[in-house]
Amino acid sequence: MKLPTQIQPAVGQALITKVSRLFNGTASDVLNELFQNARRAGATRIDVGLGECDGRPALLITDDGSGIDDPASFVTLGQSGWNSEIAHREDPAGMGVFSLAAMRVTVRSFSKAANAGWAVTIPEDGWEGAAPLAVGSSAILRGTQIVIAMPDAWRSSLEIRLKAAAKHFPLPIRYQGEILHREDFLERACRVEEWQGCRIGVFRTSTHEPADTPRINFHGVTVPCRMPDVREIEAAQKWTVRIDIVDAPALQLVLPARKEMVENAALAALRAEALAAIYRTIALEDEHRLSFQDWRRAADLGVELPEASPWLHAWRPRTAEHRHRELNERIISTPMVVLADHQPDIEQCAVPALSAETLGYRPVCEIDGFSGYDWYDRLPRIPALSFAVEIEGRRLGYSDQLSIPSDVGSGHVDAIMLVVSILGPAASKEPAALLSFPLDMLVCANEGWSLGEAHVFVRDKANVEPSELARLIEACCFCFDEDGDCDSWDTQHRDFERDARAIANAILLGADDALLERIRSVFLDEIQCLIPQDRQITLTASGNYLSVAFAAPA
């Protein structure tokens, strides 16, 4: 064998025997392809009806377009038969009708070139080119009619698929005589821009919108496509886009199924313009909360925006169970100090000292995304909170980085101090100012989030109620455990409250009073509800003796 000196790409004849595997043969594939062909043929309406073909249910699709001049082009893979203008604008590939492969189909169409109608029936096994197909005459005077022997799988969902194919199609589609609902692909857009044969619609949508949401509409065929989106800080929604293609030849769908976009330079340019359209839409709003990074990106795209509105949410401490920062009131004109995030136990215990009265500033939540804005960088900030505990001449530290040693027990201590570090503006080179505040209580969870690992301290001679300390222990340590012996939240919470009260009582009431309070608590929780409203009981108990009796009526 002598090797050739030149080669040229070609389509192998054997490909025709595999056409039934080019498409899934779903109702959606077929409807989309046939509707697109009718539109390219200049149809003004499409009618879809039900009938019979050789005793089987059949789907009839009829249009009033220009018809098919050459019957052979209909069954020639890769030969579209469209004129040069349509070929340039829409990139037809001559493959769409092969979505019908492996189905029995009858085609009737008018040929303007021959000034006559023609008809051909293609059996299920006739798509692979093994035998010629007989072309007969037809009385059809305009357009094309295709009769499809429906697969059983189509019947249950046919109407749903029809409505989906018609929803964004530019021509009216009638099913059994009724016009199917249509709507603009960009109907609910906040704003629409036109760009190089496309309509770009800017939307506000849920942040949980599915990734496969259709983003591009190609004359009724909608496909998912990665497109830019922008989320403003702390916003419940995000800015997204949809693209309605009107006349953009460079934007192409992947063949043969046309279910995704070709990744090319035109699509990259569209994405950049779509992002700019989002920023231009935001520029029309009364205010924005874009991150500094987004603000700079908008400027790079030629969209000038003011800085994000200069307000922040008031800081509130998180609990061990609710670690997500809740959005509180807006702080605008009051002097603010930015407070960094810390573990919930540190935040809860620091609350008594973190007020506008003690600091001279209103604590607000840190938002890293605003770093870079002039107004944000000028705010003072609290990067660190730490505690110092003095107990029997020993000084212990507690912070996000420091834990209480395991050999130290809970109880009364000589002193508890909160140390607050305050920095000046971001550009300032001034050293941090350290402020100290005395505290009455400190609960150190030690990142264990269980009472067994926690340390609870109360300053000697502090005026603290057991209920107050129990509430602080709960805020610092209680967190529902989904694997906690299958107990419900209520059960776990009730047990934790009981144990927290016991710890608070043991520290603040002394051993005897704490034991009596625990017995009383158990009685209130478990026994008192059993006593009739109009009766009293007497109870006498010891370690091995219990006597219960109804008291004599008063």
Q: What is the phi-psi region of residue 216: left when phi exceeds 0, alpha when psi lies from -120 to 50, beta otherwise? A: beta
- For 322, the enclosing helix (H) or strand (E) is none
Specify whether 200 is located in the same domain as 289.
yes
Q: Which residue has the tokens 């509409």?
A: 217
**Which of 300, 331, 347 is the C-terminal boundary of a domain?**
300
Does 278 fall in a domain?
A: yes
**How many whole angstroms from its chain centre is CA 257?**
28
Write down the pLDDT at residue 485.
63
Specify whether 218 is located in the same domain as 239.
yes
CATH of the domain at 59: 3.30.565.10
Q: For strands 144-149 and 105-111, give the pairing.
A: antiparallel
DSSP SS3 for 293: helix
Residues found in the chain: 554
Specify whether 88 is located in the same domain as 21.
yes
Write down the pLDDT at residue 54.
79
Write down the pLDDT at residue 94.
47
Sheet strand arrangement including 237-245:
191-195, 198-206, 237-245, 214-218, 221-224
Does 10 fall in a domain?
A: no
What residue type is assigned to position 229 of the chain?
D
Q: Which of 298, 430, 307 is nearest to 374 (CA)?
A: 307
Specify whether 326 is located in the same domain as 431.
yes
Specify whether 463 is located in the same domain as 545.
no
Specify whether 25 is located in the same domain as 146.
yes
DSSP state letter for 396: E
Does 184 fall in a domain?
A: no
**Which of 464, 491, 518 is the C-terminal boundary of a domain?**
491
Does 207 fall in a domain?
A: yes
C-beta neighbour count of 452 within 10 angstroms: 7
Domain extent at residue 323? 312-491
DSSP state letter for 526: I
Domains contained in the chain, number: 4
Specify whether 204 is located in the same domain as 348.
no
DSSP state letter for 352: G
Does 27 fall in a domain?
A: yes
Please state the φ and ψ torsions of residue 277, each to the nearest 5 degrees.
-65, -40
Specify whether 454 is located in the same domain as 339.
yes
Does 496 fall in a domain?
A: no
Does 5 fall in a domain?
A: no
What distances in angstroms separate CA 19 from CA 92, 98, 101, 128, 147, one per listed residue? Answer: 17, 7, 7, 7, 20
Specify whether 212 is located in the same domain as 259.
yes
Write down the pLDDT at residue 282.
97
Specify whether 21 is located in the same domain as 152.
yes
Specify whether 215 is located in the same domain as 269.
yes
**How many whole angstroms from its chain centre is CA 230?**
12
Q: What is the phi-psi region of residue 164: left when phi exceeds 0, alpha when psi lies from -120 to 50, beta otherwise? A: alpha
As averages over each run of 10 residues, the pLDDT of the chain (554 residues) reads 64 57 78 90 94 88 93 73 53 66 90 93 84 91 93 91 95 95 96 96 91 92 95 94 94 83 95 98 96 97 96 94 82 92 95 90 95 95 94 93 90 95 78 89 83 91 92 93 76 88 86 68 72 79 78 72
Instruction: List, in sequence order, every beta strand (DSSP E) within 94-209.
Output: 105-111, 116-122, 135-138, 144-149, 173-175, 178-179, 191-195, 198-206
DSSP state letter for 98: G
Q: Which of 497, 496, 498, 515 is nearest to 506 (CA)?
A: 515
Does 338 fall in a domain?
A: yes
DSSP state letter for 254: P
Q: How far, in Å, CA of 409 to CA of 396, rounded?
A: 12
Q: Which of 134, 154, 150, 164 is nearest to 35 (CA)?
A: 164
Q: Which of 318, 339, 343, 325 is nearest to 444 (CA)?
A: 343
Specify whether 329 is located in the same domain as 293.
no
